[in-house]
Amino acid sequence: MDPTLRVGDRVLVNKLVYRFGDGPRRGDVVVFDGTDSFSEEADPDANPVVAALREAGAATGLARPAETDYVKRVIGVGGDRVRCCDRRGRIEVNGRPVDEEYLHSGNAPSAVPFDIRVPEGRLWVMGDYRSRSSDSRDHLGEPGGGTVPVERVIGRADWIGWPPSRIESVPSGAGSGHD
């Protein structure tokens, strides 16, 4: 997700934003459980006490989150047609080019051509450092076609909380062609 997020950044995730309002929108940076869409089924802890402690630690930032949690930017929502690329090399959503000013400098929007209709209740997600991101493009041939179920979204990454020199809000792509 560089340059938006860097290795070592700790993000504050708003877990309520999608529970009491609209679902994820194009341009949102979301945290989601990639089980069954990006990851194999995780082995649950046999001991329920250990599982509860691990989950509490991850929720408070005292422990690492599950290896199946991902942070990516929403490019397409249910019903959208997402395509790469137009004649100028830009991603298109519903036939309109997306101005992706958040991309890592020097990165093309995608080296992998694709044309997908996002199923209802699912999301097409991509990282901001496209040449190094494992995202929806890498899972096109798998069940779900690279899309992530909305119910697997944990929340929206709203703030970088650590390190202190990086404390700031996480910019969405709302002003960059994602209506």
pLDDT at 53: 67
Q: What residues in the chain have per-residue pLDDT under 50? A: 175-179
- State the pLDDT at residue 55: 67
Do the Cβ atoms of 69 and 154 come closer than 8 Å? yes
- Kindly tell me the number of DSSP H helices and DSSP E strands found in the chain: 1, 11
**Structural domain that includes position 66:** 10-169
CATH code: domain of residue 118? 2.10.109.10
Number of domains present in the structure of the chain: 1
Residue 3 lies in a domain: no
- The reported pLDDT for the residue numbered 34 is 86
In a domain, 175, yes or no: no
* pLDDT number for residue 108: 87
In a domain, 179, yes or no: no
Does residue 5 form part of some domain? no
Cα separations in angstroms, 152 against 51, 64, 135, 149 = 19, 18, 15, 5
Model pLDDT, residue 175: 42
